[in-house]
Amino acid sequence: MSEKEVFMLESEQIDIKSIVGRYLRYWYLFAIGVIISMVVALLYLRYTTPEYSISSTLLIKDDKKGADLSGNVAFNDLEIFQSSKSLDNQIQILKSKSLMQRVLTDLSLYTSFYTEGRLKTTEVFGRSQPIKIVVSELDSAAFNKTIFVNLKDNNSFEIEDGEKQTTHQFGQQIKTDYATFTVLVAPALSRKSRDQVAVKFHDIRKLANSYNSRLTVAPVNKEASVLNISLTDAVPDKGVAIINKLIEVYDKEAVEDKNQIAANTIQFIDDRLKYLTEELTAVEKDVETYKRKNELTDVSSEAKMYLERASEYNRQLSELEIQIDVLNSIEAYLKEQQNQYELVPSTLNIQDATLLNLIAKFNELQLERQRQLHIMQPGNPIVMNINEQLGNLRVNILENLGNIKSSLTITRNNLRANSSQFESRIQKVPAIERELLEINRQQGVKEELYLYLLQKREESALSLAATVSNSRVIDPAMAGDAPVKPKKQLIYLLAFFLGLGVPFAFIYVREMLDDKVKEIRDIESVTATPVLGEISHNYSGETMVVTNESRGPVAELFRLIRANLQFAAAGKENKVILVTSSMSGEGKTFFSINLAASLVLTGKKVVVIGFDLRRPRLSQSLDIVNDIGVSNYLISDYLPVEDIIKPVPGLDGLDIIGSGPIPPNPTELMLLPKVDKLIEELKALYDYIIIDTSPVGQVADALALAPYIDSSIYLVRYNYTHKNQISIVDDIYKNRKLLHPMIVLNDAKKENGYGYGYGYGEDMTKGKKAKKKLKLGV
């Protein structure tokens, strides 16, 4: 595997420990975030109005499991008006907007009442209301409007409506631009006689939509026809009242529907009985007159045999006549203009599924139209749409009735043809007997129809008198003891994660936007240039940290870099070392001085040259006058090198050569051949030459010294050097612009992953104390 592949593989590895440590360095931000979010959650829970769950269970009686005496007994044998009460249908009825509007209207929830407590404003309802308001008229301008009622005593009160204040007596009708209402005393007034009550007016339609969105109606399980009705509300008493009234209104409407069907059926039967009574009376008179006129007594035994066969056909013909007569009656009923919005009565014994379904749909639409008329005008588009559907169904029913009549007529004609065969055999029977038979047949048809309708009328009257609800309340509405909203545990859990998430996001975004070098991995991931070592942050503030007595972390790290530098030389000459960086302020001068000091401690003679001719800092850092230096030597033909060398006080073996006066052409000076002469002379005098140069990332001065050096050190400062500037040293390394480039990371702190424990056995404080003791002679 090549060096490049190894470098890429190592750079792709993810150091989980390093990532976790990077965030743990900001533990205080996470602690502050969690504390703040928990406090916000506590305040939210304290000032948020809790909501409670109110529920009730309702049993829906199923028509399939027994006779229903509440609205369609008269036609149970015909299966026209029977319909199983599907739970899905009942759920939709209970959740209908019109039903909820009727509930809110019956409860007079045009207004809501609020009282101000120590922490928050609370809605009051029922027994806790200090006042009641009876609304007579309400304009749309009042919707969502709030007024304030100041309760002075048990007889009077003030109303604040914006900037307007008026005084009134309880029971007095108040007329305003937006409403007409009366304020009444409630039982709670005696306990809160000096309170201010906020009154908010509501649009019943929008309020019904709001409650419908919170209302849940669902089956308890798949096997039982039991519904669970639940509602969430901030006022438990109001939620209980709404659910109980909802069930009450639901039962009331169901009973009204059944009573209306039964009443319409009785009316239809009464009309038919009146007509049949007249016809039956006329037929009976005809029989009486015919027998008296023809003096009829008995029929011959020979004719009886034929008459018995003929009577069977006559019976069948009689049934067909009944069916045709019923169809004619229903057809006439439908064609009458006054019955266009009335329920269609029974088709009696007509067994036709299509007709039954059409009539059932027709009656359902009639009931839906009547329910809509409770809350809408006849000209409403919804009512007009229902009228159109009723008209189409009426045409379909009439067409179906005609088809059935045609079929029954064909069957009747066939029976008559068969009957004529037997009648031909009784030609010997006197014509009188035959005519009497025809009269009796008509009489029988009328009698059977009369008796049938009379029986059904009694059953319908019984069902009307005994109408009961199709549901039964199993558990009345009850509110839970504990609120369901807000959920404390969930709020605290979300607050906890939010308290961790916000600092995490802040740190992540900050890290993403911060392009400064933070860790050694930032260097290793973009360049294969070897890292010589790492220098920790200098907390002492002194320029010279490497001395004979120093045992601090910074001094020890310089000693480590000195050792690494010797290993990096690998037996080759490494006397001339160039120090550069990307930009100023990365610690080149500090590093050059202390690296030289660490080499001096090994018994070597070292000189540091200030080749930064643009912004010299070497002499100033050591409090040495920068009156003569490199620039003087390069432009002079007679100045010896010994004259520009200055010793560093307090450390024998360490000398410096300052930059001297700043020249106007520093780059050209560094290209002079005399630079080579300077380096060669210094090599003869010193073991090591350290060159402090300008930042190579800003000027090219350092590159001009490349022919004279043995190795180069590139300073990178944590939290200062930009990541994109690492490409400079990478370019130097790849293109060999400087010999043996190596990186030194400066100003390392704990947040940069530094913490190896250099300075073992002595920290900075102890070192200072020991130095003080030596001075005091202790």
For 544-589, what is each residue's pLDDT tens digit? 888 887 778 888 888 898 888 888 777 788 889 999 998 888 888 9
The one-character DSSP state at 516 is B
Question: Residue 108 belongs to what H/E stretch?
Answer: none
Among 238-247, 407-416, 740-749, the range scoring the smallest mean pLDDT is 407-416
Q: Is residue 83 part of a domain?
A: yes
Q: Which contacts (CB < 8 Å, 24+ apart) does range 413-420 have?
A: 415/313, 415/316, 415/317, 415/320, 416/313, 416/317, 418/313, 419/310, 419/313, 419/314, 419/317
Claim to verify: residue 427 and residue 307 sit in the same structural domain: yes
Residue 650 covered by a domain: yes
Same domain, 106 and 168: yes
Q: 651: Cβ–Cβ under 8 A, 6 or more apart, which residues? A: 544, 547, 597, 600
Regarding whether 123 and 61 lie in a shared domain, the answer is yes
Confidence of residue 770 (pLDDT cuts 50, 70, 90): very low
Could you tell me which of 445, 190, 415 has the C-alpha nearest to residue 316? 415
Residue 601's domain is classified under what CATH number? 3.40.50.300
Q: pLDDT at position 755, please? A: 52
Least confident of 288-302, 459-473, 661-675: 288-302
Q: Are residues 284 and 385 in the same domain?
A: yes
Instruction: Identify the top-confidence range among 342-346, 427-431, 453-457, 705-709.
Output: 705-709
Which of 464, 498, 513 is where one domain is finished? 513
Please, are residues 671 and 639 in contact by the beta-carbon 8 Å criterion? no
Residue at which a domain ends, from 188, 222, 252: 252
Please indicate, yes or no, whether residues 259 and 390 belong to a single structural domain of this protein: yes
Q: How confident is the model at residue 78 (pLDDT cuts 50, 70, 90)?
A: very low
Please tell me whether residues 41 and 60 are part of one structural domain.
no
How many domains, the chain? 4
The residue among 473 and 711 whose pLDDT is bigger is 711
Mean pLDDT of 310-321: 74
Specify if 389 maps to a domain: yes
Average pLDDT, the chain: 78
Residue of 516, 517, 513 lying closest to 505 (CA atoms): 513
The reply to whether 248 and 276 lie within a common domain is no
- Say whether pTM exceeds 0.85: no
Amino acid at 173: Q
- Is residue 570 assigned to a domain? yes
Pairing verdict, β 226-233 and 111-116: unpaired
Q: How confident is the model at residue 77 (pLDDT cuts 50, 70, 90)?
A: low
How would DSSP label each residue in 564-627? Answer: HHHHHHTTS---EEEEEESSTTSSHHHHHHHHHHHHHTTT--EEEEE---SS--HHHHTT---S
CA distance 68 to 73: 7
Residue 590 dihedral angles phi and psi, to the nearest 5°: -60, -45
What are the strands, taking DSSP E only, across 48-130?
52-60, 111-116, 121-124
Q: How far apart (Å, rounded) are the C-alpha atoms in residues 661 and 445?
A: 140
Q: Is residue 76 part of a domain?
A: yes
pLDDT of residue 36: 92
Is position 425 within any domain? yes
- In terms of residues, how long is the chain? 778
Same domain, 207 and 262: no
* Together in a domain, 665 and 561: yes
Domain membership of residue 478 (yes or no) is: no
Helix (H) or strand (E) holding 524: helix 520-524
**Is residue 637 classed as helix, strand or coil in its secondary structure?**
coil
With respect to residue 232, please indicate whether it lies within any of the assigned structural domains: yes
* Same-domain check for residues 407 and 280: yes
- Residue 8's domain spans which residues? 3-48+488-513
What gap in Å lies between CA 212 and CA 210, rounded to an integer? Answer: 5
Q: Are residues 641 and 730 in the same domain?
A: yes
Taking residues 14-39, report their average pLDDT: 80
Q: Give the C-alpha separation, 239 to 252, whole Å.
A: 20
* 366 and 291 in a common domain: yes
